[in-house]
Structure 1
Amino acid sequence: MQIIQTVVVKQILTKNSKQQLFNTYQSKRLQLQKECDQLQFELKRLEKTKSFSPGALKKHFEKEIQMRKEKIKLVEFQIEQLHILPLGSELNEKEVQALVEVKVGDSWDERLGQLTIIIKDGIVEEIR
């Protein structure tokens, strides 16, 4: 019988992966900043049309802008943490599902122990 089990994928931090993560965080931060700017532009444009209630309109846009600013703060925190981490650190990247074969007589605890896949520079280094 086969069952589905969650497997943690971890990435070993190398110089290349650190740079890639930094670039990813930077582009995410830039995208969020562009979205904030676009929302502020749209707010001003819609305020001039006077076809919407100014209070409700402003409240809605401010909420959206604030959500993005919070995400920017999170990305900036991730960038700070990335600079602190030493090379060789293991970072949780994601979780995937795997099929595991279970037979009569198997040790249940061993079969369902947490599986982990270790990746270094995009190559599977180890399966624990």
Structure 2
Amino acid sequence: MKIIQTVTVKQILTEKSREKLSAKYNQQKQQLQKECDQLLFEMKKLERTRKFSAVGLKAQFDKEIDLRKEKIKLIDFQIEQLGMLPYGSELKDQDVQALVEIEIGDNWEEIMKGKTVIIKDGIISEIRER
């Protein structure tokens, strides 16, 4: 019988992976800033049509813009933390699903501990039992 199990994927921080992560964070930050600018533009456009309540409209747009600004602050914090981490640090990258073969007589506790996949510069360097 097969079951689905969650496997944690961790990335070892190297110069190459730091650059990739930094670029990814900066791209996300730019995207969020574009969304803020687009929301401001849309708000001003809708204010000119006067079909909607100006107060309610502004409150809704401000809420969306503030949400994105909070995400930008979080990304700034992540960029700062990334700069402080020493090379060789393990960063959780993602969780993936894996099929695991189980049979009668298997130790359930051992199976449920799961596995962790360690990646270094895009190459699997280790598979650990948790």
Give me the TM-score of the superposition, normalised by structure 2: 0.95
Partner SS state of residue 104, structure 1 = coil
- Name the structure 1 match of 2:51: 51
Partner SS state of residue 112, structure 1 = helix
Q: Unmatched 5+ residue regions in structure 2?
A: none
Distance 1:30 1:5 in 2: 35
**Could you list the runs of 4 or more consecutive aligned residues of structure 1 that deviate by over 6 angstroms after TM superposition?**
none
Give me the TM-score of the superposition, normalised by structure 1: 0.96
Distance 1:30 1:73 in 2: 12
Partner SS state of residue 9, structure 1 = strand
Letter of the 1:86 partner, please give it.
Answer: P
TM superposition shift of 1:114? 2.6
Partner SS state of residue 113, structure 2 = coil
TM superposition shift of 1:42? 1.3
TM superposition shift of 1:95? 0.5
Q: Does 1:87 align with 2:60?
A: no
Alignment deviations for residues 57-102 of structure 1 (CA, whole Å, 9 cap, x no partner): 1111101101100110111111011011111000000001111111
Task: Give the superposed CA RMSD.
Answer: 0.9
- Name the structure 2 match of 1:105: 105
Q: Unmatched 5+ residue regions in structure 1?
A: none
Distance 1:28 1:101 in 2: 38
Letter of the 2:35 partner, please give it.
Answer: E
Distance 1:114 1:124 in 2: 17
How many aligned residue pairs are there? 128
- Name the structure 2 match of 1:12: 12
